[in-house]
A and B are shown apart, each in its own frame.
Chain A
Amino acid sequence: MNVFNPDALSSSELSTTLQGAFDLKDQLTRIAQSRPDDGTVSGFEQMLTDSIKRLNESQLEADQGVIDLASGKEANIHNTMLKLEQADITTRMALQVRSKILDAYQEVMRMQV
């Protein structure tokens, strides 16, 4: 097996390895910043925006449900309660996604370079 040993490298080999690392970093940056030609945002950023939008929608819907129940527009308590439950579950889901992203970020930041 080829074990990476920095002490055994000559200076030219070291610079090649470093160059490879920088190339990889550039590639990752390009992937992270990549946008399709039609100008729309895609991939991870889009997914995050969409899920935040859905979260907000469910919160607004729950708010409206409570207002409707209080003003007598909605006769069924269970419909309002289900809207609240929906908002609660969506919020929990978003929190889980957030903590996963933060975990991944911290994992990357802890990485030895």
Chain B
Amino acid sequence: MELLKAFQISASGMSVERTRIEIVSANIANAHSTRSADGVGPYQRRQPVVEASAFDKVYEGNFSSIGGQDVSVPQVMDVVTDETPGPRVYDPGHPDADEQGFVAMPNVSVVSEMVELMNASRAYEANMNAIDATKDMVMKALEIGRG
């Protein structure tokens, strides 16, 4: 059914935003992790890489174009690590401090992560509104038969 496709396009956007929120949450949670899992250096912030993939690559079914234009749906292709060095804080008593007494902190800026979080949740809502609009249209169309 054609309706399913409009839903799937919005759903893919919602999935991407959900993944972004997960990554942002992990970044905020690790904003003070001075040790990474492999033991080398502090935690480094993660970033999703979103690709506009062809519709039929993500969902089954033959639906590659609307009016001759390619239909793309977003998809998280990769999660990359931000290699920029984080701030160095002077704290000689810290177990992860170097010889000069500096501790390498994660390169996570909680403020910009919060902005990213709000951004992702608003984008999720935007997709939700697109679904609502589609649903409203269908419900209105069904009212033709009434009466």
Contact = CB atoms under 8 A, between A and B. Distances in A.
Interface of A: 54, 75-76, 78-79, 82, 85-86, 89-90, 92-93, 96, 99-100
Nearest 10 interchain pairs by C-beta: A96-B145, A78-B14, A82-B7, A76-B15, A89-B138, A92-B142, A82-B11, A96-B142, A79-B11, A78-B11
Nearest to B3: A89
A86 B7 contact: yes
A24 to B, nearest CB: 29
Given A76-B15, A76-B18, A78-B14, A85 B142 contact: no
A99 B3 CA distance: 22
A57 B128 CA distance: 25
A85 B7 contact: yes
Contacts of B1: 54, 86, 90
Which of B4, B139, B146 is packed against the most chain A CB atoms within 10 Å? B4
B145 A99 contact: yes
A66 to B, nearest CB: 16
Contacts of A92: 139, 142
Nearest to A93: B142
A90 B18 CA distance: 27
Nearest to B144: A96
B88 interface: no
A75 B21 CA distance: 14
Contacts of A96: 142, 145-146
B131 interface: yes
A86 B145 CA distance: 19
Contacts of B8: 82
A85 B135 contact: yes
B16 to A, nearest CB: 10
A89 B135 contact: yes
Interface string B102-146: 000000000000000000000000001001000100110010011
